[in-house]
Amino acid sequence: MVAGVIWTLATIWLKVQTGELLNKKLNNPKTICKLVQNITLYIIVKDVKLCTDCSSNAICEAKTNYFTCSCKSGFIGNGVNCTEKVYCSSFPCCPSGYSWNTVSMVCSDINECLDPFNMCYPAACTNKIGSYLCGSTVGKTCGGIYCPYDQDCLNFNGIPTCADPCKYSKELNGANRLFTISSTGKFPTDQFNIGWFHFTLGFKMKEGCIGPLKCGSAEPFSLTSHPKKEDGVKMVPLTLNIATGCINGSSIPVKACDGFYVYKFLGTTRPEVYCSGVYKS
């Protein structure tokens, strides 16, 4: 899957599991952008700052300081881009993480973990609705051996290999996700950025609580702290900047390199971004 598309599924999936949506929402015309797989109901929405960012074929629903868009009946998409269902067989209208089912005429979840060399490999892969999560390889064997404290187990042409993540990380633009940016328009996402990343020169992940609607995101991720170089690859908790306050989230591997940091993103069910701050040596 690719970056750049944002879906709010975690809260909705929880409500489906508890029966809240099944009891209260099915007769509500505001929640009619449905994706059905077997007997499961999925509702796909996109976070935006203003209702005018929604498609003209979408329903706009108010949240805390932002809005969500969901496609009207007869349309498929994420609420910002809505395609008439009749065109979906010839036009790609399903969000990332889904594929069009020509029989049932709905978008069905893609199980990326079925690929033995998925983006998580050699770590464990757990499929989620519309996304997937990777396990950590820190402290685990890599091709039958344990990696040194400053290396991680990486996939080299299908072979698990201990290597320095400082030399094998992808770049993210640190300027467009800075903690000083107030979120407007259509919110981006890092939900499908999997693996080791570094920010462009001069930036690192922002530490501490920054609050919601920053970094171009509704409820962005920041980092609790950064490791020292002598720490090697270290598991560090994320900070979730939600509407009700800041809480600790799951941990990700982080390493201090020469003049920058690298972060291993393991996937998330939250459609947010990893917030940046200015790097100071």
Percent of the chain scored above 70 by pLDDT? 84
Q: Residue 47: which of 32, 66, 28 has the closest Cα?
A: 66
pLDDT of residue 152: 98
User: Is 150 inside any structural domain?
Assistant: no
Q: Which helix (H) or strand (E) holds 11?
A: helix 10-18
User: Is 98 inside any structural domain?
Assistant: yes
Contacts of 105 (CB under 8 A, 6+ apart): 85, 88
pLDDT of residue 101: 84
User: Is 145 inside any structural domain?
Assistant: no
Radius of gyration of the chain (CA): 20
User: Is 141 inside any structural domain?
Assistant: no
Read off the pLDDT band of 17 (50, 70, 90). Answer: very low
Read off the pLDDT band of 29 (50, 70, 90). Answer: very low
pLDDT of residue 146: 97
pLDDT of residue 276: 97
User: Is 130 inside any structural domain?
Assistant: no
Q: Is 29 helix (H, G, I), strand (E, B) or coil?
A: helix
User: Is 40 inside any structural domain?
Assistant: yes
pLDDT of residue 100: 86
- Residue 258 tokens read as 């020469």
Q: Is 280 helix (H, G, I), strand (E, B) or coil?
A: coil
User: Is 104 inside any structural domain?
Assistant: yes
- Residue 262 tokens read as 């690298």
Read off the pLDDT band of 138 (50, 70, 90). Answer: very high
Read off the pLDDT band of 26 (50, 70, 90). Answer: very low
More confident residue, 139 or 33: 139
Contacts of 80 (CB under 8 A, 6+ apart): 46, 48, 53, 54, 55, 58, 69, 186
Q: Which domain holds residue 79?
A: 10-110
Domain termination residue (choose one: 110, 143, 177)? 110
Q: What is the mean pLDDT of residues 142-147?
A: 96
- Whether the Cβ atoms of residue 160 and residue 20 lie closer than 8 Å to each other: no
The pLDDT tens digits of the residues spanning 96-113 come to 888 888 888 888 899 999
The pLDDT tens digits of the residues spanning 220-279 come to 999 999 999 999 999 999 999 998 999 999 999 999 999 999 999 999 988 899 999 998
Q: Count the domains in the chain.
A: 2
Contacts of 200 (CB under 8 A, 6+ apart): 171, 172, 173, 174, 175
Residue-wise burial string across 205-243, b where 16 or more C-beta atoms lie within 10 A, e elsewhere: bbbeebebbbbbbbbbbbbbebbeeeebbbebebbbbbe
Contacts of 56 (CB under 8 A, 6+ apart): none
Q: Give the pairing of strands 159-163 and 170-172.
A: unpaired
CA-to-CA separations, 83 to 12, 69, 71, in angstroms, rounded: 22, 14, 9
Other C-beta atoms lying within 10 Å of the C-beta of residue 91? 12
Q: What does residue 266 show for φ and ψ, rounded to 5 degrees?
A: -100, 10
- For the chain, the average pLDDT equals 82
Same domain, 177 and 273: yes
pLDDT of residue 281: 61
Q: Measure the CA–CA gap between 164 and 262, rounded to whole angstroms.
A: 10
Same domain, 94 and 176: no
